[in-house]
Amino acid sequence: MSLAGLGWVAKSLTAAAELGLADHLDGSPMTAEELAKQTGTHPETLEALLRILSTIGVFGRDDAGVYRNTALSDQLRDGHPQSMRHYVMLSGGLYADTFSAVTHTLRTGESAFRHLHGTRIYEYLEQHPAEADLYDKAMADLARPVAAALADAYDFGAVRSVLDIGGNSGELLKGLLTAHPHLTGTCLDRPDVCARAAAELATSPRKHLAERLTYQPGDFLEAVPVDADLYTVKNVLHNWNREHSVVILGRIREAMERAGAGRPVDERPRLLVIEPLVETDVDWIRVLFQMVVCEDGTRGRTDEVQRAQITEAGLEVLDTLRLSTGHTVHICAAAH
């Protein structure tokens, strides 16, 4: 019964994120009745939700029935530096709703998302602006800690320009450019994503980065049209099947060869393939997610599988890094 009810807990967490409960409790502990007045909710129902979440450490409750934020609920605040609010809303919303068709994937091996919506998730988002905006913000939640870890782990001393392929709103680049002021960055993604990201950056507290960060609309399955010293592709390949992953890596290799023409071998561009790989049994949760939500034929990748795809695309792995976020970074060059 407890395991079967975990879906209810996830939806409760999603509701807390949607209502902004943690933002309301930031510095202002309240009873459920007081918080209900602030959020326009039903006091008794809100009390039930808060009691559920407080038992797992999301929100704290004292003997007087006053609720306050904990380290976990703090991450549901918009302003928290490691906020996961939007990812929680995406995971408990569109992603969880897609899992209602997991049996289709189990019976056919095909994407449940395509079964439900008739298209891949990216085309779906182009037609649903509100969900696309949430997706952008959720991907920024996931990219923020990776950017901080990569900025410390990789030597950017000889790098001047970075191109992030499929970089969504550019959160990875924002972190790298902030940590390394000598860098410039370009984010390559779909036209609708680039338009939203550029508009958001222009009015954000980090709008000064617009001098060094640009957005390039494009289709990385067709071409990577920008030359750079360093190319990055983070949490992108696991959304695509093997065939498309190799195509994407091949397009990046073509750009690297173009940018490196005439340079000494040790000064030619590098590619960082940044992915969480299948390493433990727990990682199979993510594998099933990819089968259900991503395109047909998407599967989890072990280190061996990832290296094989990199090699098939005409690249060679020079070295690897392990980030504190659990990501493996394959440092690649175009094969000679």
Catalytic residues: 238
Helices 303-312, 242-260: inter-axial angle, 10-degree rounding:
50
Amino acid at 36: A
Pull the structure tokens for residue 49: 């939700």
DSSP three-state, residue 189: strand
Please give the distance of CA 320 from its chain centroid, rounded to a whole number.
Answer: 21
Q: Scanning the structure block, which residue is given the tokens 């040790």?
A: 266
Contacts of 89 (CB under 8 A, 6+ apart): 14, 17, 18, 134, 138
Pull the structure tokens for residue 260: 């490196």
In 3D space, the residue among 136, 161, 269, 270 whose CA is nearest the CA of residue 214 turns out to be 161
